[in-house]
Chain A
Amino acid sequence: MSENRDDFIIAIRYALLKKGAKQKFSLFFLILLSISIISLDRMSLSFMTPVRSVINDLVYRVSVVSSQPVKFRKYLFKTVSQHYSVRSQNIFLKKEIEYLKKQKFNNAYLSSENDLLKNILDLSEDKNFEKNFSIFAKVILDQESPFLKSILINKGTRNGIQKGMTVFSKDYLMGTVIETNYLSARVLLLTDLNSKLPIVIEGTNINAILEGTGKKQNLELSYLPEKYVLEPKKIFFTSGKDGFLSPGIPVAESYLNKKKILIRLLGDPDQALIVNVTDGRVNK
């Protein structure tokens, strides 16, 4: 028992007092120093306050420096995560651009398909009828008859002109061929009393028949609905119900003249010098 106690005391003494080969201070001395520091700090002696503040400043400064690797690590992680975030965002945006490009191409395709289908269904907005098939002709004579409003053109059957062909002036419908000769043809103008053309009024689905009155500034509409009141600045388009002309060809317009709503042709037959003669089956 006493031997064991002796061993314990020896071991403790050895641990406390022996400094070892490289130990500059013994444990006993350092423990005493610690206790004295605790006591001094706890007693809050006057000289301890500046000492403590100096130690604090020093330690905090070194602590700030020592924390830099951690801060750098955090910065690095943040930068790397941001980089990957931007990268993933970039990939997403690239995909989106690809998608939008595809959509654009798809739209272009749909647009062209739409045009094609319109062409097939005769709904094309292209009114350059003369581009498809037309024979240019010169107006050689403008008949000034009180009833028969017609013009003569310098093209006839030799050039393939037939009865019933439609005549345009600056893309506006003027009339139909009623008489053909070998070298010339007669065109009945829309202003003529005998001219009857099925039309549709702009912005509505109202159909009517545009009739000539012999006056280019005053045409008439027949077969209008009973309570329908015509408004000015309305364009009349061919309805295509005659089965001959394509629908949507602008023909005439309404206008206000001395509080009266009148109808006039869009093209002026008096000013027509060159006309396009077509077979009327535009876009078919």
Chain B
Amino acid sequence: MKKELKRLNMISIWVITGILVGLTGLLIVFFISFNRTLSRKGSEATYDKYYVMISDDSSSSFWQSVYSSALKEAKLQNAYIEMISENFSRDYTQTELMEIAISSNVDGIIVTDGEAEGMTELINKAYSAEIPVITLINDNMQSDRLSFVGIGNYKLGTEYGKLIIEMANTKTFPGDTIEVTVLLDAGSEDSRQNVLAAAIQDTIKSDRNENADAHLPIEITLAAVNASNTFSVEESVRKLFISDKESTPDIIVCLNENDTNSVYQMVVDYNEVGLVNILGYYDSEAILKGIERDVIYATLFVDTDQMGRYCIDALNEYYEFGYTSQYFTADSYVIKKSNIDEYRKGEPDER
């Protein structure tokens, strides 16, 4: 009994000492792990090449989508691409950003506004500093840009035209003409828009030539949307609705994501759902919802992933072989209510 007690006492002494030692150990381990969390910057992935992407509105989901696909592709090639405008606490124009990119001696520049004033010189300057420049969507043919990644604008316009004719055939419209308004960016002298608008007109004209009586005559007007500052898009679009009920167009064709969103919102706000049909651009979630709710008739979207990939591939090819293809054209698709489910199912992971 006594011996038992003594043994117990001895055990308890050892246990207590063990606890103390354990606590000290725990403390040290805790401290080390704590230290590690404090200085976790440690090993970070580094890359060989540093590309820069310059776009007008870096927060739009269209550009974000292009960018994320480009980044994914770049990382595969041990390069990093960055939306340089996000590095700054103030807004710079694309030309300014171009200058910054050149002076920071990047390994490649992707610029979306190839037609901006002074861009040609800057692209040439970059070229002379051995920085390859890729123009995206808007080309600058005169410059020494490496290559152009774009959409087949004429093809896109044809698609819009086809959609307009389809609507004219299937829907009923008040009045004796179907008024179509194509929203264009007032600021940029963007040949792309002109090509698009021309393609739409061409398509409709040729259709009228073929079967003139199938639907009401279609009248196309081009409306300039001022996208020069942050809120002007909405203001410009609003003008279409408030000026005169009569002149509110039957079909509005939007050629970028921002316009589409604005018009969509306006149609809902001014209670014109059903009266005004929208042909949108791009496949953001909001726009897809608009299609599901029958506010937007259809949207065209360009394969942004493909675009991003093409940009990086062009740069890579250049570094690998010293040259690359001058043109890349991304595919475009139409999403309507009839195929939206299919589309959603097809690319659930893309967004």
> Is B truly associated with A?
no
The interface of chain B, by Cβ under 8 A from chain A, is: none
